Chain A
Amino acid sequence: MRFTRGLFGLFFSLSTSALIATSSHAQAPAAAPDAMVRDLSNEVLNAIKADKALKSGDANRAQQLVDEKVLPYTDFQKMTQLSVGPGWRNATPEQRTALTREFRTLLVRTYSGALAQVSDHKVELRPFRAQPTDTDVIVRTQVVASRGDPIQLDYRLEKGASGWKIYDINILGVWLVENYKSQFSSQVNSVGVDGLIKTLSERNAQLAGKKA
């Protein structure tokens, strides 16, 4: 039953983190991954607090925010690749693009609805252990509010040619990529990569219809 309690926080924070992972601010990100995550998180929380449309769970507005600001700091393709697993190797470039696009849309669509719950939330960095030479790190944070327990929210980042990029999020101990692996591979094994793309896009269309 403790799990169910956690789930509440989980889905609240997934909504925030989906945006955090994907959103960012106009100025150049800080060089260190932990500082970058902190700045991004605060920026996104402030954006949500200030934006009525976002707060009411407007998926289009959330998508817009992601498209405009977020992409530079998130590696959605890597996130999708890891989630799809072995099936990715045999996917064509077109299939890979489609998978990444549909998965991203699904995450933004489903989690934008919970943004209404953002109130006085703040992000705090938890102790960060990494060597300066590391190129793959985990930044640990927690989201605190006056109401409810702190929510553990971690990010996995990789350093590439264009700086640090987030490619996985952990909410209350649950890695996003890990949580989709089994579902994705099951689809790929039974109906193939095209089948998975179809499932995702049908779900997205269904969610879009519901919202409208």
Chain B
Amino acid sequence: MTDSTSSRFPRLSLLALAVIVSGGCATIPADSGNDARDPIESFNRQVFEFNDVVDRAILKPVAQAYQYVLPEPVRDCISNIFSNFREPSNAVNNLLQGKPVDAVSDTCRFVVNTTVGLAGCFDPARAMGLEKHSEDFGQTLGRWGIGAGPYLVVPVLGPSTLRDAIGVYGAEPYLDPNFYIDNIRVRNAIIGTRVIDQRAQLLQTDDLISGAALDKYRFIRDGYLQRRRNQVYDGAPPPSDTDSPATTGGPPAAAPNVKKELVPPQSGAPVAK
């Protein structure tokens, strides 16, 4: 243990060096920052490169080992348990978004799956017709009319926006039972496992993204922004601006689009279940 701590520093600084070097080499296209949704694109790209280095050095290899060692049913069980621990947050956020029926359903899911479903390893609630709703405080803020704000690549954690970073990384821990575990080691082990679980689920998509994306950064960014907007409106975002050349032109074309995003219709109005 003492040996490993003494050797950890040089290794970390090596990693840091690799990161700085790679960050400095991030290719920034000429039209970087022209998109009003992503004013700090060149900075984000550096963090994106940094995350890629961390991913290749640590996260991906660990996730691959995890996937190799554990059989699929066990990994499914673990993923389901982590998903079950999100139900309290789903319920609270649904309540905050004025959807009490969904909140009740989430609570029932949590009770049923935690007991009959063995801590959430299985999902018997789904067979009972209780559908899962994935909510978080970032979506709640969006539902309250708060715009996404500038796109943000968070170190290690990945794609986000100003609003989502506050909602997901700032507020969500308060709604996560795992963060209330007093034993710090146990808590860190659980959160670490959750990160690996999530990374392992993405392993198959790595090649797809590399193949399909002409510009990986924008492919992921545009996918993230679209998907979050869709989640804020529970799968039925107001149509209008998908056809507008929001991402094709410079600031003049993109600006009106963002204004629209900042002032979404009142919650509940055009949102169909």
Contact = CB atoms under 8 A, between A and B. Distances in A.
B208 A189 contact: no
Size range of the chain A interface in the assembly: 35 or more
Interface centre among A138, A150, A183, by most chain B C-beta atoms within 10 angstroms, is A183
Contacts of B214: 180, 183-184, 187, 199-200, 203
Interface stretch (B12-20, B113-121, B141-149, B228-236): B228-236
Interface in A198-212: 199-200, 203, 207
Interface centre among A117, A127, A182, by most chain B C-beta atoms within 10 angstroms, is A182
A185 B250 CA distance: 11
A185 B247 contact: yes
Contacts of A11: 204-205, 208-209
A173 B248 contact: no
B227 A3 contact: yes
Nearest to B273: A127
A149 B132 contact: yes
Interface SS, A side: helix
Contacts of A2: 134, 136, 168, 231
5 contacts: A1-B168, A5-B134, A114-B204, A183-B213, A185-B31
Contacts of A199: 214
A4 B136 contact: no
Interface of A: 1-8, 10-12, 14-15, 82, 85-86, 106-107, 109-111, 113-114, 117, 127, 138, 147, 149-150, 152, 172-175, 178-187, 189-190, 199-200, 203, 207
Contacts of B249: 86, 185
Contacts of B201: 4-5, 8
B79 to A, nearest CB: 9
Interface of B: 29-31, 35, 76, 131-132, 134, 136, 157-159, 168, 195, 198-199, 201-202, 204-205, 207-209, 211-215, 218-219, 222-224, 226-231, 235, 237, 239, 242-243, 245-249, 272
B30 A189 contact: yes
B157 A1 contact: yes
Contacts of A15: 208
B226 A4 contact: no
A122 to B, nearest CB: 15
B162 to A, nearest CB: 15
A98 B199 CA distance: 37
A152 B212 contact: no
Given A107-B212, A110-B211, A3 B224 contact: yes
A7 B132 CA distance: 17
A181 B198 CA distance: 28
B219 A183 contact: yes
Nearest to B32: A186
B227 A172 contact: yes
Contacts of B235: 152, 173
A110 B219 CA distance: 14
Contact of A179 (B157, B205, B211, B223): B223
A143 B226 CA distance: 19
Interface pairs A-B: 10 shortest CB-CB? A173-B230, A182-B247, A110-B211, A85-B248, A110-B212, A11-B205, A185-B248, A173-B227, A183-B214, A174-B226
A91 B60 CA distance: 41
Contacts of A3: 158-159, 224, 227-228
Contact of A175 (B159, B205, B242): B242
Contacts of B224: 3
Contacts of A111: 208, 212
A156 to B, nearest CB: 9
